[in-house]
Chain A
Amino acid sequence: MTPNNSRLGEDAEALRAILDSAVDAAFVADGSRQVIFANRSLGDLLGLTPASLLGKSLAELLQIMGASLENPQATRGRWEELWADPERTATTVLEYRTDKRLFLKETSLPVRRQDGSWLGRMFVYHDVTHEKEVDRMKTEFIAIASHELRTPMTSIKGSLDLLLGGFAGEVAGEIRELLGIAQSGCERLIRLINDILDLSKIEAGRMQLKLQAMSLFDSVQRSVRTIKSYADSFQVKIEIDCPEPLPLIVGDRDRLDQVVTNLLGNAVKFSPAGGTVTVALRARPTAIECAVIDRGPGIPPEHFGRIFGKFQQVESGAKKGGTGLGLAIAQALVYEHRGKIWVESKLGEGSRFVFQLPLQPEGA
């Protein structure tokens, strides 16, 4: 122990002054669940003096806070759980309404005396209202931007489609070629907008999975059909390797199709012409595993860490098109299914993108 710490320990008044000047609201309750310390920020939050809170039971404190808490029952339940588990440190965000709406991050941690014995629990409330607001604005911005981008894209792509479809007379030669270039650029932009919207939904926790019992094998078959013409354009074949019937999993059909399609699109893009991409499906003890295997150039190990990041195509792939969001979306969707996803690769030999989905997800 340093001399300074020891002096603080003796000077309760100094300690109180320090804790009172903290911006975060805090209190400590002892083993008998009575408040033995409350700082000034907590008093300000509750509109009471810190001294008047001393000696109150947790139930009384909850009653005082409860009027402003969005969900006091949840707080009561959480506090009960925390008291049953003295060592646990837990953090949660709660909504608190006084004259304005606040979001408070509650952190609860055990407090020990110098000899290591358990003194009680400390609760600290940090105002995260601003962070929440910024987060909400970001999500809203992305949603509005995507909507506003789609509208002009609809007119550009629509006009090109009508022209190329012969609605305004025959289009031939170089004019057709140029219109075709504009059309494929449009399609790429639309894919990008859709991908950004998907990712923003997942990141905002607004992607609602439609969970049902489903076969991952069927999902792979559908995805192979979806990607076939794309693979043909790269002269790449796709084979499915599934030696035995697989148990069903619980998942969102469309979203898992999207995962497999994204991985397949990636594998096809990086395969040599005439090459083959294999989708290997296996039942593991607690999961179904799907590996998408290509014989492309492989990924340098230093890129493994960020390959699932947004807009993270490695150099060799920079000219390969795509939105740069396919793997990020695949990863986010697998995580939404409480699964795992990773990559294994050897330079010059190819890559294996593997994901596993649990056979019995928690709470199922």
Chain B
Amino acid sequence: MRIKKVLLAEDEEDIRHLARMSLGHGGEWEILLAEDGEECLAVARAQKPDLILLDAVMPRLDGFETCRRLKADPATANIPVIFLTASAQEHEIQHGLQMGAIGYLTKPFDPLRLRQQVLEVLREAGLAEEPTP
């Protein structure tokens, strides 16, 4: 698969900007933003991103429930989800994966490596991005 649009759901404004700069650097990916789980669901249905990066602790709807609903909705079930969160305890990671995420990245993340880490998760899940020509 080829990634063009990435949806990033993150309630902290600073982290949102940082991750957007980091993921969008080079201009290959269009980065869509959501501030909480509800908005994430709406943007995912409307924009059909190729990948969703999800924070766990968010107002209105947390990341775990958001992930569960994304996977339960046929319109969004096939979009790969990767958690990007400070909730780094073992049971939280297991919970995230049980909700259908393909990977779990923890904060603090290295913005210079974030894009690379996302690509590694996709590769491990057998969803490797086609090499850029």
Contact = CB atoms under 8 A, between A and B. Distances in A.
Interface in A129-154: 143, 147, 150-154
Contact of B86 (A147, A157, A206): A147
Contact of A150 (B90, B108, B110, B111): B108
A206 B89 CA distance: 10
Interface stretch (B18-26, B75-83, B95-103, B122-130): B18-26
Interface string A288-324: 0000000000000000000000000000000000000
A327 to B, nearest CB: 23
Contacts of A150: 86, 107-108
B22 A155 contact: no
B89 A154 contact: no
B72 interface: no
A155 B86 contact: no
B111 to A, nearest CB: 4
Interface residues of B, number: 20
Nearest to A154: B108
A143 B90 CA distance: 13
B87 interface: yes
Contacts of A152: 14
A161 B110 contact: yes
A162 B21 contact: yes
A159 interface: yes
Interface in A94-140: none
B22 A158 contact: yes
A190 B112 contact: no
Nearest to B87: A147
A153 B112 contact: no
Contact of B12 (A143, A151, A190, A201): A151
Contacts of B88: 197
Given A151-B12, A155-B14, A162 B89 contact: no
Interface of A: 143, 147, 150-155, 157-159, 161-162, 165, 167, 190, 197, 201, 206, 208
7 smallest beta-carbon distances between A and B, as pairs: A154-B108, A155-B14, A150-B86, A158-B18, A158-B111, A154-B107, A165-B112
Given A154-B18, A159-B18, A162-B21, 8 more contacts: A143-B89, A150-B86, A151-B86, A153-B108, A155-B18, A158-B15, A167-B22, A190-B108
16 contacts: A147-B86, A150-B107, A150-B108, A151-B12, A154-B18, A154-B86, A154-B107, A155-B15, A155-B18, A157-B108, A158-B18, A158-B22, A158-B110, A161-B110, A162-B21, A201-B89
